[in-house]
Chain A
């Protein structure tokens, strides 16, 4: 593994979590997996195991959202961007091996940690959406900050559990975004993805 020591340790923690589970992670194991000494791990994470797990969950959520934002950065408008982000985000959650493995083995423990990072994740998505809404034709009377908060919550809810919506189908996801998510927010929704 390469990169800054801190990132290396956190990436190794995520990898170990997938292998041995959250309960059985040890500083030794993380040190070995990151190719750093135990002392170096403790220098960055004096709280040891518990701090490692806490911060690794937040770090991985941040990495996930960042990767997603990068993947959709080329989209020409908000509707297209949201459509792609729902499509790719849901797929990335389904394909996230560490997440899926922990949801099977230690759902309570994992979700307790995730729950603590949700306000931060929701705020990151909200701010990103608010910035994008600023250059969109927003309906009279719609507050951009509030609309961004609403969208961020629905977005996270949908990628975590699509329910009745088929997010694998890009055209259907495009309709979901234009006809429902953005229906009250933007003046007009250009048809088609």
Chain B
């Protein structure tokens, strides 16, 4: 599309990647060092010397492993982070018995992952121009596609296939919104909070087949549905 923000990293993330990456110990050490450096100094200021020092190897060694230099190391770091997220999702959402469980596991796991990423937090605070163009105004397609692929195994037991993408997109919107603009009232890394949130808003929005007559479907089997007009 000639979009200047469409980076090679995005393109690579969209391609199907093996879950098990045959990373060598050295590769892993370099990638981990790069993440530490980005969490400390950001993307622009981090140099290969910094990464080499942190990894305890030489610049030449990094070039031997990543011939593309800094850009290749950063790409590998991003890939390794998405693999880690995928593994954490498998551990939490893989055990879900209900749609609610799966939605809670997804929101809690991704929220904690984003909050715990020092590299991402540094970038959002100090180099937002590195991150935001990839997640704003019509640029979210790649994130939604990634989310759908990651969520699919955990949502298909509870949802018809055509609803899986919609559900993954919905959760992505919620998690991203709270990650980029944290709420003092709603903290989705807290499992009890996330469960109440999923039960009230997410399950009714995502758990019903939206086909058919909306008037006869009660989308909230969890609530007993007694009416009240709120005065506040």
Residues of A within 8 A of B (CB): 93, 99, 103, 107-109, 111-112, 114-115, 118-119, 122, 130, 133-142, 144-147, 149-150, 153-154, 156-158, 160-161, 163-164, 175, 178-181, 183-185, 187-191
Which chain A residue has the least Cβ–Cβ distance from B224?
Answer: A140
Which chain B residue has the least Cβ–Cβ distance from A90?
Answer: B138
Which chain A residue has the least Cβ–Cβ distance from B130?
Answer: A108
Contact, CB under 8 Å: B219 / A149: no
Known: A133-B230, A149-B186. A160 touches B205 (CB 8 A): no
Contact, CB under 8 Å: A149 / B185: yes
Point out the residue from B133, B139, B203, B231 that lies within 8 Å of A108, measured CB to CB.
B133
Point out the residue from B128, B133, B140, B177 that lies within 8 Å of A163, measured CB to CB.
B140
Q: For the complex, what is the distance from the CA of A112 to the CA of B125, rounded to whole Å? A: 10
Question: Could you mark each residue 173-202 of chain B with 1 if its beta carbon is under 8 Å from any beta carbon of chain A, else 0?
Answer: 110111011010110000000000100111
Contacting residues, chain B, for A178 (C-beta < 8 A): 214
Contacting residues, chain A, for B232 (C-beta < 8 A): 130, 134, 144-145
Q: For the complex, what is the distance from the CA of A115 to the CA of B176, rounded to whole Å? A: 13
Chain A at the B interface: SS class: helix
Q: For the complex, what is the distance from the CA of A158 to the CA of B177, rounded to whole Å? A: 11
Point out the residue from A103, A119, A141, A144 that lies within 8 Å of B137, measured CB to CB.
A103
| Among all A-B residue pairs, the 3 with the closest Cβ atoms | A108-B129, A184-B204, A111-B132
Contact, CB under 8 Å: A93 / B204: no
Count B-side interface residues using an 8 Å CB cutoff: 54
Q: For the complex, what is the distance from the CA of A161 to the CA of B133, rounded to whole Å? A: 13
Contacting residues, chain A, for B214 (C-beta < 8 A): 175, 178-179, 189, 191
B24 within 8 A of partner (CB): no
Closest CB in chain B relative to A65 CB, distance in Å: 15
Known: A107-B5, A154-B174. A137 touches B229 (CB 8 A): yes
**11 extra interchain contacts, Cβ-Cβ under 8 A, other than A107-B4, A145-B185?**
A108-B129, A112-B128, A138-B230, A140-B226, A140-B227, A153-B173, A153-B181, A163-B141, A183-B204, A185-B201, A188-B227
Residues of B within 8 A of A (CB): 4-5, 128-130, 132-133, 136-141, 144, 165-166, 169-170, 173-174, 176-178, 180-181, 183, 185-186, 197, 200-206, 208, 210, 213-215, 217, 219-220, 223-232
Contact, CB under 8 Å: B213 / A191: yes
Q: For the complex, what is the distance from the CA of A108 to the CA of B44, rounded to whole Å? A: 14
Known: A107-B136, A175-B214, A183-B204. A140 touches B230 (CB 8 A): no
Which chain B residue has the least Cβ–Cβ distance from A148?
Answer: B232
Which chain B residue has the least Cβ–Cβ distance from A176?
Answer: B210
Contact, CB under 8 Å: A149 / B183: yes
Q: For the complex, what is the distance from the CA of A138 to the CA of B220, rounded to whole Å? A: 12
Contacting residues, chain B, for A158 (C-beta < 8 A): 173
Contact, CB under 8 Å: A160 / B201: no
Closest CB in chain A relative to B55 CB, distance in Å: 29
Contact, CB under 8 Å: A160 / B137: yes
Contacting residues, chain A, for B220 (C-beta < 8 A): 139, 183-184
Closest CB in chain A relative to B143 CB, distance in Å: 9
Contacting residues, chain B, for A146 (C-beta < 8 A): 185-186, 200
Point out the residue from A139, A163, A164, A175 that lies within 8 Å of B225, measured CB to CB.
A139
Which chain B residue has the least Cβ–Cβ distance from A122?
Answer: B181
Q: For the complex, what is the distance from the CA of A142 to the CA of B229, rounded to whole Å? A: 11
Contact, CB under 8 Å: A164 / B137: no
Which chain B residue has the least Cβ–Cβ distance from A158?
Answer: B173
Contact, CB under 8 Å: A180 / B205: yes
Q: List 17 A-B contacts (CB under 8 A).
A: A107-B129, A108-B128, A109-B129, A111-B133, A140-B224, A140-B227, A140-B228, A144-B232, A145-B185, A146-B186, A154-B173, A154-B177, A161-B139, A180-B206, A185-B200, A187-B225, A190-B215
